[in-house]
Amino acid sequence: MSKALSIALILLFNGLAAAQMPVAELPRIYVDTTWRLPVGGTTWAAHTSAQLSSALKASAPGDRIVLDAGTVYTGNFILPAKSNPSKQWIYIMSSKLSSLPQPGHRVAPSDAVNMPKIVTPNASQALLFSAGANHWRFSGIEVYSASTYRPSSTYLNYYGYSMIDTAAPGSPQLLQDSITFDRCYIHGDATHDVQRAVGGNASNYALLDNYISEIHMAGTDSQAFAAWSSPGPFKLVNNYLAAAGENVMFGGAGGYNNPYVPSDIELRNNYLFKPLSWVPLSLNGQMVVKSSFELKSGQRVLFDGNTIENEWKAGQNGYAVTLTVRSSQSGDIAVVNDVTITNNILKNVTAGFNTLAADDQCATSTYYLCKKAGSQDRWNISNNLVTFYDPRIAGGGNNALIMLNGGWDNLGNKAGVMRDVIVRHNTTVAAASAPCWDSAFFSAGGQTPPLKNLTSNIWILDNVLCGQPFGDWGLQGTAGITQYMGDPGPVDPRFKGNVMYVPVGTKVQAWPAHNYATTLPFSFVDPSHGNYQLTSPFWTDTSDSKLAGIDNATLQRGQGTPSSAPVVIPGNSSNQAIYTAVTGTGYGK
């Protein structure tokens, strides 16, 4: 009889169920972005702004609209709804599309010379998709603002809301559908505050190989891409996304009666960036800087192979990824469920992942109409590299891999419970000569020791941690995590295989067997070239007998171009065949 089976039988005999590692469900639907240039329809050559407006109105599904590279098309252009029973596309494209990078390769600002320019002259959208608009694809287009409107509340010239947006549909039947932007350059500039580049409230929305930059605002969150009133699915693949607020956000608006949870979300191979030149601007109030990727409502999310670079303490505490359900803002049905975050590089960030299981803003005086505090379930955070922003410099703060926070349910007058989370084979690296503050921190949510049912089914396995876990009330070692993550017991199989660095002057705590806390600094294969595969200690006393921390080969494959072989999604083997089958064919894989 195996040891595992013996333990299971003992637990069963004593009336206890063995803890089961949660499995996050991957997206059920993937947006088909295969390049299918319409044939047989009319090709509209639009040389002026007036001709572009006419072509948008007169074109039929199956047509092409060709814009002249280098020409400026000034106006507020409306994408109308058209009868389209055969679901044919209208492509709007550059006359020099062949001179741009091929599909699957990201454009850069230097490619703008081969792009037509769609420019809004005022504080209204450059492109607005009408209710019911569907099957529009933009390829090789530059979009920006020339607005000079400047309200007194901002430091810079102010654009408006979204340069590209969808009109309120009025009913689910008129929700916009099938919108794709590929190889486009969408941007603000240093002297224009732009709140949002793309508002993505439509189904089957895709961004591929785009360059979106200089999105920032004073006093208000800004996003490169945001969606909150849509059921999904979404695909964001191989984009450069630079925004001060949240580079990408789902949820966070729509009110208590929002009928949608954004679902089936795929983000792969994107570069989410915040320039360090924004640090002083964020600290003196000239722009709001928050997390790079945020879910306030979303489910079945795949965030794989992305790079997040630069995240500091300003509008928030510097977490690169924020997974905080906000039913108060996103609707009474809001959840943050089935989230897979794998094979990503979080570079120069104050902290990694911030979490919230129940919305403590629901049923407060600010959100008194909120009727449900929301919930979270089934997260897989695996094989991610996190290198920390120096806590001693401007914008610095407490370094931490993950904050586990249950929140508070005002309606039930009870603490929320963070549940069903795997944190596995991640590596954290402190800034030079600046020991990190923590690795995993547990918020007690108003409880006082002894803590009970603080979390449920949390697994922290096989990580390289630049600090020992602890939390509110300062509980340490085995005794501490038994209170922080003891449900269901025992905690030993769920806290295993971790290597923890203990800085000089900090006590080495006692941990469950198969974990190792050391005062000796870690060493890695080749940090100067980004290879943080662990070399010392060579710790393989892990849950899967693999070396603790990241698998660098898998991590680097995940950072490859979309045409590379499908990457491994740790902890989702049951869904891997579906993922490979869907993403292994067609452009935008």
- The pLDDT tens digits of the residues spanning 471-494 come to 999 999 999 999 999 999 999 999
Work out the average pLDDT over 532-541.
98
Which of 191, 207, 232 lies at the terminal end of a domain, its last residue?
Answer: 232
Same domain, 520 and 434: yes
Q: With 0-12 CB in 10 A as exposed, 13-18 as middle and 19+ as buried, what is 125?
A: buried
In a domain, 152, yes or no: yes
Model pLDDT, residue 153: 62
The answer to whether residues 50 and 183 belong to one domain is yes
Do 296 and 205 sit in the same domain of this protein? no
| Same domain (yes/no): 66, 147 | yes
pLDDT at residue 248 above 50? yes
Q: Find where tokens 């570079």 sit.
A: 347
Q: Which residues of 457-491 are buried (b: 16+ CB within 10 A; e: fewer)?
A: bbbbbbbbbbbbbbbbbebbbeebbbbbbbbeeeb
* Average pLDDT, integer, range 430-453: 90
Q: Which of 174, 208, 232 is the last residue of a domain?
A: 232
Dist. CA 581–CA 578, nearest whole Å: 5
pLDDT at 579: 40
319 and 178 inside one domain: no
SS3 content of the chain, % helix, strand, coil (to 5): 15, 35, 50
Q: What is the pLDDT of residue 445?
A: 86
Question: Which residues in 346-383 are b (16+ Cβ under 10 Å) and which e?
Answer: bbbbbbbbbbbbbbbbbbeeebeebebbbbbbbbbbbb
Q: Evaluate if residue 67 carries a pLDDT over 60.
A: yes
Are 75 and 218 contained in the same domain?
Answer: yes
How confident is the model over 200-231, as pLDDT tens digits?
Answer: 999 999 999 999 999 999 889 999 999 999 99
Does 11 map to a domain?
A: no
Q: Are residues 185 and 248 in the same domain?
A: no
Is 20 a member of any domain?
no
Does residue 439 lie within any of the structural domains?
Answer: yes
- What distance in Å separates the CA atoms of residue 55 and residue 71, rounded to the nearest whole number? 16
**Centroid of chain to Cα 523:** 30
The reply to whether the predicted model has a pTM over 0.95 is no
- Mark whether 267 and 169 lie in a shared domain: no
90 Cβ neighbours under 8 A, 6+ residues apart: 38, 59, 60, 61, 62, 63, 64, 65, 82, 135, 136, 137
* Predicted confidence (pLDDT) per residue in 102-161, tens digit: 999 999 999 999 999 999 999 999 999 999 999 999 999 999 999 988 876 666 777 778
Is pLDDT at 581 greater than 80 in this prediction?
no
Is residue 105 domain-shared with residue 63, that is, in the same domain? yes
> Which residue would you say has higher pLDDT here, 564 or 290?
290
pLDDT at res. 559: 82
User: In 3D, which of 327, 476, 488 has the Cα closest to residue 411?
Assistant: 327
Whether 214 and 355 share a structural domain: no
Give the pLDDT confidence score for residue 580 in this predicted structure.
Answer: 44
* 493: preceding bond cis by omega (within 30 degrees): no
Average pLDDT over residues 342-349: 98
pLDDT recorded at residue 562: 53
Does the residue 7 lie in any domain? no
pLDDT at 564: 39
CB atoms within 10 A of CB 257: 10
- The answer to which of 72-76, 252-256, 352-356, 381-385 has the lowest mean pLDDT is 252-256
Residue 575: per-residue pLDDT = 42
- Give the model's confidence band at 567: pLDDT under 50 very low, under 70 low, under 90 confident, else very high: very low
Q: Residue 491: CB partners within 8 Å, gap ≥ 6?
A: 478, 481, 482, 485, 512
CB 206 within 8 A of CB 239: no
pLDDT at 436: 86
Q: Are residues 199 and 347 in the same domain?
A: no
For 293, what's the count of Cα atoms within 13 Å in the CB-facing half-sphere? 28
For residues 14 and 332, the model is more confident at: 332
Claim to verify: residue 499 and residue 519 sit in the same structural domain:
yes
Mean pLDDT of the region 407-414? 95
At 433, is the pLDDT very low, low, confident or very high (cuts 50, 70, 90)?
confident
CB of 203 closer than 8 Å to CB of 262 = no
Which domain covers residue 216, as residue numbers?
26-232
Give the pLDDT confidence score for residue 400 in this predicted structure. 95
Whether the CB-CB separation of 266 and 234 falls below 8 Å is answered with yes
> What is the pLDDT, as a whole number, of residue 486?
94
Residue 196 lies in a domain: yes
pLDDT above 90: residue 257: yes
The pLDDT of residue 11: 42
Q: Is residue 430 part of a domain?
A: yes
pLDDT reported for residue 571: 53
Query: pLDDT category, 561, cuts 50, 70, 90?
Result: low
Alpha carbon distance 42, 65 (integer Å): 8
Asked whether the predicted pLDDT for residue 437 surpasses 90, the reply is no
- How many domains, in total, are found in the chain? 2
Q: What is the structure's pLDDT at 3?
A: 47
The DSSP output letter for 211 is E
Across 65-79, 147-161, 549-563, least confident range: 147-161
Q: Mean of the per-residue pLDDT values for the chain? A: 92
So what's the pLDDT on residue 194?
92
**182, 211, 232: which is the final residue of a domain?**
232
Give the per-residue pLDDT at 376.
Answer: 97
Are the C-beta atoms of residues 416 and 409 closer than 8 Å to each other? Answer: yes
Instruction: Give the C-alpha separation, 332 to 261, whole Å.
Output: 10
How would residue 191 be classed by pLDDT, with cut points 50, 70 and 90?
confident
| 88, part of any domain | yes
The neighbouring-strand residues paired with 242 are 273
pLDDT digits (tens, 9 = 90+) for 263-305: 999 999 999 999 999 999 999 989 999 999 999 999 999 999 9
Q: Does the structure show a pLDDT above 60 at 9?
A: no
